[in-house]
Amino acid sequence: MNRSRRVLLLNALLGLGILVVCWAGVHVGWRGPDAEGHDVDGRYGPGPRGPWQPPTAPGPQSAAAAVAWTALPGLVLLAVGVALRWRWPRAAFVASAVGVGVFFGSATFSAPALLALGLTVYPMAVTLPVRRWAWLLALLVPVVLAAHHAEPYLGALDPVLYAELLMALALAVLPPLLVLLRRGRREAERRERAEDLRRTAYEERLRVAREVHDVVGHSLSVVTMQAGVALHVLDKQRATGAAVAPEVTASLEAIRRSSRDALAELRTTLGMFRDPAGEPRTPTAGLDRLADLVGALRAAGRRIDVDGVPVPGPALPAAVDAAAFRIVQEALTNVVRHAGDARAEVLVQRRPDVLVVEVADDGPGPRGFREGNGVRGMRERAAALGGGVEVGPGARGGLVVRAALPLPAPARPDGPLAGQPASAS
């Protein structure tokens, strides 16, 4: 038997137990040892009897049995509400409230019946927001008034009415109130833990930002400075008539420009790390910067062909644009580091639902190739967008890096489909 059936069975037994207790209470009256006249509920005849003794006269017994059978439909509805309280919380409470009202109107006020109301209020407090069930508690007032329907003004002049109403509110409201207090405490603890994790992550970002700035930023600054010094020395030699190869000057210019751009981008990225919200303050790099990247490599003597940039069609999503640029950048870096003087081709192709980025070279190929942090980083960028990266040998030798980055589905235009004339009215 699965858990839901066990819960249903246990609640059904609980509702049946409350039904039996309430029904038995109709037959058993409470009388003090010195009581005279009527029982507490006024339905039994005169004569002193001890506590919880059933009536012995034929008339009172018949009256009690009649009352019991009249109240039985209300008790059955009460038991059904208790049995189904976890499956349909609000409907179960309404059913129990109606059943208790019928029972009170046919018999008498009973604390076990109020316990059933408390049992049906508890699941609502656990599973539903307060605004969806709090207004149902107003049913407690007519339920209690039903026990005084035979009195003048519905018992408004009877102090017992207000005591019973207070009891009903206590039994029905205290359990959910405790649940709400416990839920609020758990929510506060959850927010506190989340705040601690956020603060820890922010402190870790600051630590990483400081380390990267101190190590990489210093190195890039030194590279920029040394390239500038070398260019200054070459200018002096050229002024004295010494022969200087143009390729040397172009390479140094490319080194200085690339290191300066990398340093500026590093500062932008570290600024994002220092922001508690983690949002970049300036636009991230995209495929619009691919021309600068390729130009710097061409200035250093690399042969690179680019096809498909700028990308036709609507603007790419910022995340896809940035990921595509970083993947091309890392793939070209691997070509420079591992493919010698190989020629590289960059292809960017936009399809209806995916952006394909491919970087191929005609170098020595994947022999001895091992995936390092660069390839893992490309895979992680693509996976974060729901795409993937494939690295393998090319058709003409060399290595091919192919990335597929999903694009959001285009919005469907309102009105007639494109290419179809609108119908005449």
pLDDT per position as a tens digit, 383-411: 999 999 999 888 877 889 999 999 987 65
**291-320 pLDDT per residue, tens:** 888 888 887 778 899 998 888 888 898 889
Question: What is the structure's pLDDT at 406?
Answer: 93
- CATH code of the domain covering residue 310: 3.30.565.10
Answer whether residue 173 is part of any domain. no
Q: Which of 124, 157, 190 is the last residue of a domain?
A: 157
Residue 279 pLDDT > 50: yes
**90-127 pLDDT per residue, tens:** 888 888 888 888 888 777 777 778 888 888 888 888 88
Q: Which of 134, 157, 180 is the last residue of a domain?
A: 157
Answer whether residue 232 is part of any domain. no
Q: Is-above-0.75 flag for pTM?
A: no
pLDDT, mean of residues 29-39: 43
Residue 421 pLDDT > 60: no
pLDDT, mean of residues 229-255: 81
Answer whether residue 345 is part of any domain. yes
* Residue 102 burial by Cβ neighbours in a 10 Å radius (0-12, 13-18, 19+): buried
State phi, psi for 392 to the nearest 5 degrees.
-170, 180
Residue 414 pLDDT > 50: no
- 3-7, 30-34, 153-157, 255-259: the lowest-pLDDT one: 30-34
Full domain range(s) for residue 329: 287-408
Residue 416 pLDDT > 50: no
DSSP character string of 77-91: HHHHHHHTTTTSHHH
- Between CA 252 and CA 282 the distance in angstroms is 28
Question: What is the structure's pLDDT at 368?
Answer: 63
Residue 286 pLDDT > 80: yes
Residue 57 pLDDT > 50: no
Question: What is the structure's pLDDT at 46?
Answer: 39
Q: Which of 157, 172, 195 is the last residue of a domain?
A: 157
Residue 51 pLDDT > 70: no
Question: What is the structure's pLDDT at 49?
Answer: 36
Answer whether residue 260 is part of any domain. no
Higher pLDDT, 1 or 204: 204
419: confidence class by pLDDT, cuts 50, 70, 90: very low
**Identity of the residue numbered 251:** S
382: confidence class by pLDDT, cuts 50, 70, 90: very high
Residue 64 pLDDT > 80: no
Higher pLDDT, 275 or 322: 322
Question: What is the structure's pLDDT at 278?
Answer: 52
- Same-domain status, 13 and 153: yes
Question: What is the structure's pLDDT at 424?
Answer: 36
Confirm if 323 and 364 have CB atoms less than 8 A apart: no
Residue reference for tokens 């046919």: 106
27: confidence class by pLDDT, cuts 50, 70, 90: low
Question: What is the structure's pLDDT at 52?
Answer: 40
pLDDT, mean of residues 339-360: 90
Give the total number of structural domains in the chain.
Answer: 2
**195-241 pLDDT per residue, tens:** 888 888 888 877 877 777 777 877 777 788 888 888 888 888 888 88
Confirm if 96 and 116 have CB atoms less than 8 A apart: yes
Answer whether residue 172 is part of any domain. no
pLDDT, mean of residues 54-59: 44
142: confidence class by pLDDT, cuts 50, 70, 90: confident
Answer whether residue 88 is part of any domain. yes
DSSP 28: -
- Same-domain status, 148 and 291: no
277: confidence class by pLDDT, cuts 50, 70, 90: low
pLDDT, mean of residues 307-334: 88
For the chain, the C-alpha Rg in angstroms (whole number) is 41
Answer whether residue 103 is part of any domain. yes
pLDDT, mean of residues 25-37: 50
Confirm if 401 and 331 have CB atoms less than 8 A apart: yes
Answer whether residue 222 is part of any domain. no
CB-based burial, 115-150: b 16+ in 10 Å, e otherwise: bbbbbbbbbbbeeeeeeebeebbebbeebbbbbbee
pLDDT, mean of residues 51-71: 50
Higher pLDDT, 3 or 391: 391
283: confidence class by pLDDT, cuts 50, 70, 90: low
